[in-house]
Amino acid sequence: MARPAGHVAYIALGANLGPREKNIAAALNALEHTRGITVERVSNLYETEAVGGPPGQPAYVNAAARLRVTLTPERLLAVLQQIETSLGRERRERWAPRTIDLDILFFDDRVMSDDNLSIPHPLMHERRFVLEPLAEIAPNVRHPTLGLTPRELLDSFGELSFD
């Protein structure tokens, strides 16, 4: 069977304001209705305490999704940011509570970094709330710079040093 055209991207989804589960569902629905994007797989939802940012934030609901895209990484980022804005995301303070947060984790095995976008996501290996849903849907995908899978990163969480 021929492999579908396009690129494979993994994204993280998170929400801790408003109807969290509905916000994630709305983001996935918007992705499914965007030309050049096919949502291939979605993890279960995971509830986690907020990490970083202002104290006293509500808990997050997190998930991960595998996308098949014909977009560039930059265009995918623009689409994710458009969806965030359409769902009420405001960017005032770093790591502040949000209605929705959409981050590119992997884009094929690409490694890139500029002022707007870093792939793979530079902090994903430090975030259990990213690794758990990602390991569920992509346990054997290798991190292109660390050489470890999400499952391996999760299994050794807190034990590895990447300095």
Residue from 3, 41, 66, 101 carrying the catalytic annotation: 101
163 classed as catalytic: no
109 classed as catalytic: no
CA 67 – CA 41 distance, rounded (Å): 7
Residue from 66, 75, 94, 98 carrying the catalytic annotation: 98
If we measure between CA atoms, which residue out of 29, 97, 84, 89 comes closest to residue 58? 97
If we measure between CA atoms, which residue out of 101, 102, 83 comes closest to residue 34? 83
98 classed as catalytic: yes
Residue from 68, 89, 92, 155 carrying the catalytic annotation: 89
Residues 122, 54, 134, 117, CA torsion sign: negative
Q: Are 82 and 35 a contacting pair, CB within 8 Å?
A: no
Could you tell me the CA-to-CA distances from 49 to 46, 53, 69, 138, 147 in Å, in that order? 10, 11, 31, 23, 28
Q: 């530079």: which residue's tokens? A: 122
89 classed as catalytic: yes
Residue from 75, 103, 110, 142 carrying the catalytic annotation: 103
Active site residues: 89, 98, 101, 103
